[in-house]
Amino acid sequence: MTRRGTEAAPGRGAGKPAGRRAPVTTASPRPGALVQIVLKLLRLVAVLVVVGTLVFLSMELLPGGPAEAMLGVSATPDSIAALERQLGLDQRLLDRYLSWLGGVLRGDLGQSFRNGQDVSTIVADRLSVTIELVVAGQLIALLMALPLAMISANRRGSVLDRGVGLFVFSVLSTPHFVIGVVLIWLLSVNLGWLPATGYMPISAGVGTYLSGMIMPAVALAAAPFAQYQRVLRADLIETNNREFMLVARAKGVSPLRTSFRHALRPSLLGLSTVVGITIGTSIGSSVVVETLFGLPGLGAELVSAVQARDYPEVQGIVLVVAAAFVVVNAIVDVLYSVIDPRLRQRRRTRREALT
C-alpha cells in the first residue's frame, strides 16, 4: 500500500504527509519520505531483534550464573537451584527467550535480578549521564578537530602541519583509559585542580558539574578527535585543489573566508560518516571511562550488571545502546542531504528510476 502511495505522489511539494488514504490533491509529501521513515523503523526493529538475540545467547555462554554470583561463596547446590527457580531460570532456554522477546516487544525490559527494579527505570536513570558524557566528548572532539584540520590543510606540509600530525597520531595511539589515568594523575593528584572521581548533577552548579565532567569527557574525546582531524584534513586538502577554490580566490575572497565559506561544507561528508560511527563506539568506550571516573552512567552500570550476571539488565542496556547507534546513524543519513543538497536530488532520481 505504501508503495502504491509513492507512485501516486509524483509531486515535490513540501507539505506535511497527508492522511493514509487521502487522495493526493494539493501539497503531497516528497515521494517516499514516509516510506523512508517506515523502512528506517523496520530496520531499527530488525537490528534490535538481532542484537537482543545475540546478547541473550552470549549471556547464556558466560560461565557461572546469576545465582552463583549472588550467593557467592556460601552457595550450595540446593540454594542455587532454589534461587534459579525463583528467577525463572529453570525454564527451557527457548521459553525464556520467547517470553523475554515478547516483553521487549511490549516495551517491558524485565526486572533486575539484583533488586527487582524495572530495567527501564534503571536505564532511564542512568542514560542521561552517559548521553551528557558522550555529547560533551563529541563536542570537545569536534571543537578541537575542526580548527586543527583547517590549519593543517591550509598549511599542508609545513612545520605546523607536521607538528599537529604528530600530536594527532600520539593521541590516536593512546588508549582512552591511559589518557584518563594521566589526566587524573596530572590534574587531580599533582595539581589538585579537579576531583578525581564522582559526578555532580548540573543542579549542583555549573562549575561543580563541569569540574566532574571535564576529565572524563576529554578522555572520551581523545580518539574521536584524532580521527576527525585526520578525515577532515584529507577532505579539506582535496577540496582546496578543486577549481572552484581558485575561482573564489580570483574573486578576491580572503583566505579565512574561503576556508570557512567555500572549503568547509563540501568537505564535511566524510566527517559526518565518521562521527556517526564514532558516537556508537563512544558509547562503548564510556563503559571504561565511567568506571574509571566513577560516573553513574549506563556503562558503569553495565559493568556491574555483567559481573552479577544480571541478565535482564545487561540485555536491556545493550539494547538501548544498539538503538542509540541506529538512531544516530539515521540522523547522520539525514544530515548528508542537509550538507549537500545534490545527494537529495540524486537519491530522488534513483528512486524514481526504480519505480
Partner 1 sequence: MTDTVTVPLLSVENLKVRFATPEGLVTAVDGVDLQLGHGERLGIVGESGSGKSVLIRTIMGLYRPGDASIEGDVVFDGRRVLTMTPRERRRIWGSEIGMIFQDPMNSLHPITPVGAQIAEALRLHRGMTRKEAAERAVELLDLVKIADPRRRSRQRAHELSGGMRQRVMIAMAMACEPKLLLADEPTTALDVTVQARILELFDSLCGEFGIGLILVSHDLGVVGRHTDRVAVMYAGQVGETGSVRQVLERPTMRYTGALLDAAPRWGRDHQVLPTPIGGQPPNLLTLGPGCHFAPRCPGATDRCREARPALVAVPGQPEHRAACWHPIDAPDPAEREVTVR
Q: In whole angstroms, give the CA distance from residue 177 to residue 285.
A: 9
The answer to whether the CB of 236 falls within 8 A of the CB of 298 is: no
Among 167, 169, 193, 244, binds partner 1 (CB under 8 A): 244
Site string for partner 1, 324-353 (x = CB under 8 A): ---------------xxxx--x--------
Shortest Cβ distance from residue 178 to partner 1 (Å)? 40
DSSP 69-99: HHHGGG--HHHHHHHHHHHTTTS-HHHHHHH
Q: Calculate ∠ Cα 310-314-318, nearest 5°.
A: 175
Closest distance between partner 1 and the C-beta of residue 253, in Å?
Answer: 7
Task: Confirm or reject binding of residue 243 to partner 1 (CB under 8 A).
Answer: yes
CA–CA gap between residue 177 and residue 299 (Å, rounded): 14
Query: CB 228 → partner 1: shortest distance, Å?
Result: 20
Beta carbon nearer to partner 1, 34 or 245: 245
In the complex, minimum distance from the CB of residue 252 to partner 1, in angstroms, rounded to a whole number: 4
Count of C-beta atoms within a 10 Å radius of residue 324 = 18
CA angle (51, 53, 57) in 5-degree steps = 120
Nearer Cβ to partner 1, position 162 or 249?
249
Nearer to partner 1, 58 or 158 (CB): 158
Cα 273 to Cα 86, 220, 248, 269, distances in angstroms: 47, 19, 27, 6
Kindly write out the interface string for residues 245-274 of this chain, putting x where it contacts partner 1 by CB under 8 A and - elsewhere: -xxxxxxxxx-------x--xx--------
Closest CB 196 distance from partner 1, rounded Å? 46
CB of 152 to partner 1, least distance (A): 17
Integer Cα distance of 33 and 22 in angstroms: 16
Reading the block at residue 34, the C-alpha cell is: 514516509
Task: Give, as ranges, the residues between 265 and 324 that touch partner 1 (CB under 8 A).
Answer: 265-266
The answer to the question of residue 169 lying near partner 1 (CB under 8 A) is: no
Taking the least distance from each CB to partner 1, the nearer of 96 and 242 is: 242
Rounded least distance, CB 254 to partner 1, Å: 6
Grid coordinates of 114: 539484583
Minimum CB distance to partner 1 smaller for 152 or for 239: 239
Taking CB under 8 A as the binding criterion, the range among 32-40, 51-59, 132-140, 239-247 that sits at the site for partner 1 is 239-247
What is the nearest approach in angstroms of partner 1 to the Cβ of residue 237? 16
- Residues in contact with partner 1, counted by CB under 8 A, come to a total of 20
Q: Does 12 bind partner 1 (CB under 8 A)?
A: no
Pairwise CA distance, residues 274 & 166, whole Å: 21
Measured from the CB atom, the residue of 20 and 251 that comes closer to partner 1 is 251
By beta-carbon proximity to partner 1, the closer residue of 63 and 157 is: 157
- 230 backbone dihedrals φ, ψ, rounded to 5°: -65, -45
Nearer to partner 1, 78 or 243 (CB): 243
Helices and strands (DSSP H and E) totals, the chain: 15, 0
- For residue 118, what are the β-bridge partners? 111
Q: Would you call 111 helix, strand, or coil by DSSP?
A: strand
Residue 120 buriedness (CB in 10 A; 0-12 / 13-18 / 19+): middle
Which residues of this chain interact with partner 1, rule CB under 8 A?
A: 242-244, 246-254, 262, 265-266, 339-342, 345
